[in-house]
Amino acid sequence: MFKLLHKILAVGTLLTAIQAGPGQAAPLVHLQAVPTSPAVGGSFKVDVIGKDFLDLYAFNFTLSYNPTLIRAVSVNEGSLLPSAGSTFFIPGFIDDMAGGVVFTGDALLGAIVGASGSGSLATVRFEALTEGISNLSLSDLLFLDSSFNDIAIATEDLQVAIRGSSEHSVPEPMSPGLLLAGLGAYLVLMERRSTGRGGEH
């Protein structure tokens, strides 16, 4: 039994190596924030980006974050999958109590070849709540090609630093030019007043 299982695993490993091709790196799914360091009270977006895909037909993921620091507002479809044809996009649902955009998915429609290349898979918009650093990570990952075979991928997580909003705005000092102009206007006004008073007698 052990020998049979060992043979099955060996064959599976060989098939995976043949499908991937010699020296071919797995597609990468990573996160990118814009702006990279949002302020408290502001909004920012996180793009879920796929890189170096070949025949991507469908995918699913969950995006986790720190709900005490940031709040998810909306989820929109990216541009990579629609570049290959019509799609069925599922934004999933936002669970701000647990801190997750859960089961976001997208799939092409019909018997067509999947998307290849790099691009956005989905975009999640957030609101910054409190100063701090929030980790964002991907889970529940499922990526399929047009034959409904699993695509092995690599992932990269993200940290977003929420900066505090400025409490007080410090006025800039008056430039010498503005100071002299103001002084000149004051002297002219005083001279006119003096001349006007002299004309009253």
Backbone angles phi, psi at 122, to 5 degrees: -165, 160
Q: Among all chains, which residue has been given the structure tokens 């695993």? A: 9
Non-local CB neighbours of 83 within 8 Å, separated by 6+ positions: 115, 117, 119
Q: What pLDDT sits at residue 165?
A: 76
Ramachandran angles phi, psi of 75, nearest 5°? -130, 130
Residue 195, pLDDT score:
53
Peptide bond into 35 cis (omega under 30): yes
- Domains detected in the chain: 25-162 (2.60.40.680)
> Residue 24: what pLDDT?
67
- Give the pLDDT confidence score for residue 18 in this predicted structure: 36
| Amino acid at site 170 | V
- Positions of the chain with pLDDT lower than 70, given as ranges: 1-24, 166-201
25: helix, strand or coil: coil
Residue 94, burial from CB neighbour count under 10 angstroms (0-12, 13-18, 19+): buried
**C-beta separation of 93 from 62 below 8 A:** no
Tokens for 133?
Answer: 């650093």
Distance, in Å, from the CA atom of 198 to the CA atom of 162, rounded to the nearest integer, reads 65
